[in-house]
Structure 1
Amino acid sequence: MAVPIEDYALLSNCRTAALISREGSLDWLCLPRLDSPSAFAALLGDEGNGRWQLRPADSDATCTRRYDEDTFVLITRWTTDDGVVEVHDFMPIEPDAQIDVRRTDLIRRVVGVSGSMTMQQKLTIRFDYSRGMPWMRQTGSKKHPCLVAMAGPDAIAIRGAALHPVDHQHEGELKVQAGETQDLHLTWFPSHRDMPDPLDVDDVLEVTKHWWQKWADRIEHHGPHHKKVVRSLLILRALTNHETGGIAAAATMALPEDIGGERNWDYRYVWLRDAALTLEALLDHGFLSVAERWREWLLRAVAGDPSDLQIMYGLAGERNLGEWELDELPGYEASAPVRVGNGAATQYQGRCRG
């Protein structure tokens, strides 16, 4: 049975986004950009389409979760009869001057709170919307294990705990005592380049929390429902590309308008209408700089003959958003076909705002 969509939590580095289920599984992640092909796509199928699960081995474990204040650091607190553990999931974000597009990282920090707990990992990586079965190889050492997956232009390294092949996936366990911290570290990089060095997790965690909190502190809102307003604006920022200024309509593709139906569109692009509404919300809360960046994006995207204006573009202003169907993904709750790209880019919609 599919995970309810509302049970997913969003992670973001303002270049791409990940979805983590309440059961601790990473079920959606496109790399390196939001509109790139997926490496984890269980959201639109099952574990065989790409999933990284991290949860207690005890099937009776219970959990609560929250974001760390006004950030996209997700804290999941697991409780069993033997102990309490927290998993801190986040995607490191870099200040503008330090953006490195040659890598994308996602970190799962396991923190022992009390007692002890055995955590179980199950990992399946499938590049290119589940069409790319990677070569897998073990590197590193017994003390510092590293599993590398590689297919076509993409490579992913998983560091931090030993993983062993089991029936076309990799599994492993780690035992965490009270006061201990263990970091599991995913790094995407172009397969033709050397594997990047691991990050200093303590450092990037603080930088990431500070970056999000500093942005949230600029929000000008003094009315009711303050926390909901702040979280909503944070999500809009998460959908705004850090490099180009393009504002995506959604972090996902092919989620159905009706369960089991065919209206399963790819929304990882910039609709002029949707972006205009997003900008209105951001401007109403003090974010003039975001509007200025999007204006620059817009001028680049629509350059040329006005008669060629489109209703949507790619995150960097790409115009060719041709649509096709994926047979390799069965769809959310078997809602097929799964569509990539969006043929509406060439439609004329005269009543669109934007």
Structure 2
Amino acid sequence: MWLHGVMASRIEDYALLSDLHTGALIGCDGSLDWLCFPRFDSPSVFTALLGTERNGRWLMAPADPGARILSRSYRGSTFVLETVWETGSGTVKVVEFMPVGERCSTLVRRIVGVTGSVDMAQEIIIRPGYGKVLPWVRRVKDAAGTHAIVAVAGPDAIVLRGDQLPQAIDHKHGGTFTVEAGDTVDQELSWYASHRPIPAPLDIDTELAATVAYWEDWASQCSRDGKYAPMVERSLLVLRALTHDDTGGIVAAPTTSLPEDFGGARNWDYRYCWLRDAALTLEAMLTHGYENEALKWRNWLLRAVAGDPEDLQIVYGLSGERELTEGVLEHLRGYEGSLPVRIGNGAVGQYQADVVGEVMVALEKLRLAGGKEDHFSWPLQLAMLKFVERHLTQKDHGIWEMRGDVQYFTHSRVMMWAAFDCGVRAVRNHKLKGRAAHWEKIRDRLRTEILAHGFNKERNTFKQTYGGTATDASLLVIPQVGFVTYDSPEMMGTVAAMEAELVDSHGLILRYQSASGLDGLSPGEHPFLACSFWLVEQYAHTGRREEAVALMDKLTGLANDLGLLSEEYSMEDARMVGNYPQAFSHLALVRAADALHGTEALSLSAEAAGAEAADAERAEASSTLPQPHESMGT
């Protein structure tokens, strides 16, 4: 049933639209509750997701309260959303998309009558400035003589054109219109800089065809195999959808302040480019044939990090901006009352010792895929290794951006080891110029240190920190970078300890024990999906294939009807938690699927080799038996 309401939908009820510059979230109720124009990190113009409808939304759905959705899906391998509604008097299809191309910042909603007659309700409340600013709204005729509604507030202007423009009603616009079978009603919403003329209307048919063609062509280049190929493809599409096409920057998610704990304070702004997340995304892209995207990200990295290596940050804006000061939006009530609502991210000032390692590992994989170092890219890596060396004894905040005291995190130390390991191989295997012998000594000293202080011999497990005893899901990354093998006694013991400490009754794994107070926050969060995908990978590489497949099936089953995943999941509430859709979850899904497919291929090869060896053995044995003519004495 569809109801007019003031509450945001459940996180998993939202669909993502993207034009490779920004993203929109549209709920199953037909309400567009989140959209930042013109970039992912711009102030939102529709903010009902974090407040109420008064903070801005665009509703488009049947007026019949008994209407129901017959189907909702993306058209093929695209982000063109198609929703079929059924009412007592007929059915309609709503087609929604953001055109991809040189002209961005437009969202189109097309209503197509399928059967009978359907009354459609429309309500649009435009509130720039994260739902706080009441714009100046007027009805105009554009240069083509078409009627339009224009909303202006400071630098932002929004124009709504359509076959059925809503009427002004008490600081918002709304109304109903009827769609008969065979009718097509188009509504087009565009952002533009308020000091410029109103942009010309789009040819909707042309833009729809071009957008479908773009996404289908991009997806057709993806190498994908195995049982989870459809989920891998959709995950790669999500990673592409979260990439800013102009700059190559990849946002961690298109949202801010969707809580990690409902009603709690673990609410963060993810609309920025974390070096770690982007490097891991690069790896996922490379594995599936997207070298051009990887090179574009490398160029973004070169621009963002350029300058004094001592100024290296762990997170940047879409164009490499460094000032991401964290603030609070006091006028919003938060998603389901989860406060504060934050913009910016205080982690920008943290030192996280693992980041250079992730970047170096990703750039090594780019080299292995045939990417050539240029006059800037290898010198940058040399500078990053100098940065790591200068901070060799410094404690850090860790991969999970702890807001408590700095520590020696074992995962961070392993990734520092990985950075120098990549540097050594770059010189030895790729003939690049560098201090391989010097890095080798540092790498080996780090290894000795980690095994002495980051490993508990009595429990046979790696530890979260040098000074502690607990485990941490980030330790699952240790074999991924080659510090030890997946099936080493150290990792087998670590996994056993994690299963006892961090794996919940549903088989999902927590990042760490939040009750420890190490993160400087109140306890309470749900299993982090990326970590559970890491556990799938670990199981797959250690002969626990049945458990790996069972966990993978459980995790992929948590995706919504469109194949989208959030940051965390609450099994108790059967709902998604955290910012959405989350790049980290999707890239980890790709890794897990690749691990399962790779170990399946190895298993099949081993079975084939075993069968071949058995056949050869049988043949050899049979050749030593008396042949019929010999037994007959002829």
The question of a shared fold, defined as TM-score above 0.5 by the shorter chain, is answered with yes
Q: CA deviation at 1:144?
A: 4.5
Instruction: Give unmatched runs, 5+ long, in structure 2.
Output: 1-6, 360-634
Bigger fraction of residues in helix: 2
Give 1:167-206 correspondences, 5 Å limit: 167-206=170-209
Task: State which drifts further: 131-140 or 48-57.
Answer: 131-140
Return the match for 2:226 from 223, 230, 237: 223
Deviations 1:25-56 (A, max 9, x none): 10000000000000001010110011000000
Task: For CA contacts below 8 A with separation 6 or more, give which structure has more relative contact order.
Answer: 1
What is the one-letter code of the residue matched to 1:208? T
Runs of 4+ in 1 over 6 A off after TM superposition: none
1:27 aligned onto 2:33: yes
Provide, for residues 83-127 of structure 1, a one-character-per-residue CA deviation record: whole Å limited to 9, x for no partner. Answer: 110000000001xxxx23xx5110000001111111010110100
Q: 1:343 aligns with which of 340, 343, 346?
A: 346
1:121 equivalent in structure 2: 122
Higher strand share: 1
Mapped to 1, the partners of 2:256 and 2:46 lie a distance apart of: 13
Matched, 1:81 2:88: yes
Quick check: which has more Rg, 1 or 2? 2
Determine the structure 1 residue equivalent to 2:304: 301
| 1:66 corresponding residue in structure 2 | 73
Which residue is equivalent to 1:267?
270
Q: Does 1:158 align with 2:160?
A: yes
Give the TM-score normalised by the residue count of structure 2. Answer: 0.54
What is the aligned partner in structure 2 of residue 232 from structure 1?
Answer: 235
Q: 2:53 aligns with which of 47, 51, 69?
A: 47
- Percent identity of paired positions between Structure 1 and Structure 2: 55
- Cα distance in 1 for residues equivalent to 2:14 and 2:255: 12
Contact 2:265/2:340 (<8 A) preserved = yes
Q: Deviations over 1:222-264 (max 9, x none)?
A: 1112211111110000011110000111010111111111111
Aligned to 2:13: 7
Equivalent residue for 2:246?
243
Q: Quick one: which amino acid aligns to residue 152 of structure 2?
A: M
Work out the CA distance in 1 between the residues paired with 2:322 and 2:339: 25
Amino acid at match of 2:165: A
Distance 2:27 2:170 in 1: 23
Q: Report the 3-state secondary structure (helix = DSSP H, G, I; strand = E; otherwise coil) of the residue aligned with 1:72.
A: coil
Letter in 1 for 2:187: L
Report the more deviating stretch, 127-136 or 7-16: 127-136
What is the distance in 1 between the residues matched to 2:153 and 2:313? 34
TM-score (norm 1): 0.96
Q: Which amino acid is 1:140 matched to? A: K
2:353 match: secondary structure: coil
Q: 1-side partners of 2:310 and 2:141: how far apart?
A: 56
Cα distance between partner residues in 2 of 1:131 and 1:80: 35
Q: Structure 1 residues 221-230 or 181-190, which shifts more?
A: 221-230
Amino acid at match of 1:69: G
Residue 44 of structure 2 aligns with which residue?
38
- State the alpha-carbon separation in 2 of the partners of residues 301 and 277 from structure 1: 17
CA contact (8 A) 2:8 2:33 kept: no
Secondary structure at 1:292 match in 2: helix
Question: In angstroms, what is the RMSD of aligned CA positions?
Answer: 1.2
Letter aligned with residue 247 of structure 2: T
Q: Is the 8 A contact 1:136 1:147 kept in 2?
A: yes
Residues 116-143 of structure 1: CA distance to partner in whole angstroms, max 9, x if unpaired? Answer: 11101011010011121101101239x9
